[in-house]
Amino acid sequence: MIAYLFWHRPYPFVDSAEYEGALMQFHQRLAEQGCPGFHGSAAFRIPSVPWLGGPSGYEDWCFLDGSRALDPLNGAAAIGRMEASHHAVAAEMEEGHGGLYSLAWGDSNPPDGSALVWLTRPRGIQWRPVLEALCRQIPGAACWRRQMVLGPAPEFAISVAPDQAIAAPDGWTALRVERTRIEPAR
């Protein structure tokens, strides 16, 4: 399982409710496309993170069978039935960055309320034993690892429940990001 992540923020003059409505319409249309290897998506409101240049923004996750599912997703995301919903969000977006992460441990389905702890390891150490031990101590944690140094965010993300504390392993740096899942309007 891999996830394509997309961090973005609208222009300061854009109404956040309208932006989120357009974003949810895009995710709904994407779910209707039936792209091979696509297993759904989620969008989160996030506070300021370094890779978005300061202001708060959004974090989208698209869950895929593997890298072979990227081409159909990319091909479908901005054409045909998707074109209008894609352009509605893109026209209001001031900044965006993507990344590709693979699931190292845990469940790929993020809880509605969750936090991500972004970790950067010291160079030259083996990451797997350290993170395996850490994830075993956190019920329900999921660990994601950046692929091919794509994207501006740190190498590892551990998804935890909002009330779960996590300490960075010795020598590692951590950034905890509380996030709120955005749901379609009913």
pTM score, whole prediction:
0.93
Question: What's the pLDDT at 114?
Answer: 80
- Alpha-carbon distance of 40 to 44, in angstroms, equals 14
Strand 156-160 to 113-120 pairing:
antiparallel
Residue 150's pLDDT is 84
Q: Which domains does the chain have, with CATH numbers?
A: 2-181 (3.30.70.100)
184 in Cβ contact with 21 (< 8 Å): no
pLDDT-above-90 percentage for the chain: 66
